[in-house]
Amino acid sequence: MTDSTLQALAILRDGSQFKWYVIPLLAFVFYIYTVEAEKRNWNLILAGLAFWGMDWFNEIWNSLVLHFTGYAPVWGAPGNSAYLILVGLNIEIMFMFAVSGIIWSKMLLPHKEDRILGLPNRWFIAIAGAIFCVFVECLLNLAGALTWDYPWWSIRAPWLIFLIGYLTFFIVAFWVFDMKTYKQKLWAVGSLWLFNLVCVILFMGILKWI
């Protein structure tokens, strides 16, 4: 295994890493969702949960890459953290993604047919958002907070980070946002989170693979 992978595994789900700033971060997430619920912005809430669910989906398969290769995950988070949940997901990242979908969905124009610089606004914001996220991730990698051990997932080859790492998050979140009925939205978001939950129970709880 790579050195960065071993560093991450050394603190994986280690409760002694806890830091008190986790509590105000949790309160911030609750506040964001409570404000939107108060305004009955269910489209935003469900889009936010879809975005967050996609991150969990990615983090699960990333951890499985480490299990099956025995070498490294596609990305790792071995740096200082209050709690490392999965090898590439710490609690700080989790809270950030918990609200990111709501933030980006607030930027959508009222009608999906409306265009920005010639592109449908959903696609423009999805592409711009994914590019921004890749830029931030590159900065985190340069700072050593986020590690990459495969040449096809790196600053020199950012297209997979853009396509798989982030663009899918925006596509799914905005797809849920634009669904015609709340029943469809709930089925989509519920199915995504149910799949994630089954994977966590199976791969983390039972098989101990991640």
Q: What is the pLDDT of residues 69-96, one digit of tens each?
A: 999 999 999 989 999 999 999 999 999 9
Please determine, for residue 141, whether its predicted confidence score (pLDDT) is greater than 90.
yes
The tokens for 75 are 């990305």
At 177 the pLDDT is 98
Residue closest to 105 by CA, chosen among 58, 147, 45, 26: 45
Identify the residue whose tokens are 């921004």: 132
For 91-122, b/e burial (b = at least 16 CB within 10 A) is bbbbbbbbbbbbebbeebeeeeeeeeeeebbb
Average pLDDT of span 103-122: 95
At 145 the pLDDT is 94
Give 59's contacts (C-beta < 8 A, 6+ positions apart): 85, 86, 88, 89
At 79 the pLDDT is 87
Average pLDDT of span 141-170: 95
Task: Give the pLDDT band of residue 185 (cuts 50, 70, 90).
Answer: very high
Q: Can you tell me the distance from the alpha carbon of 6 to that of 58, in angstroms, rounded to the nearest whole number?
A: 20
Query: Which contacts qualify for 161-165: CB closer than 8 Å, 24 or more apart?
Result: 161/134, 161/137, 162/130, 162/131, 162/134, 164/58, 165/58, 165/75, 165/130, 165/133, 165/134, 165/137
**Residue 171: CA count within 13 A, CB half-sphere:** 8
At 91 the pLDDT is 98
At 189 the pLDDT is 98
Mean pLDDT, rounded, of the chain: 97
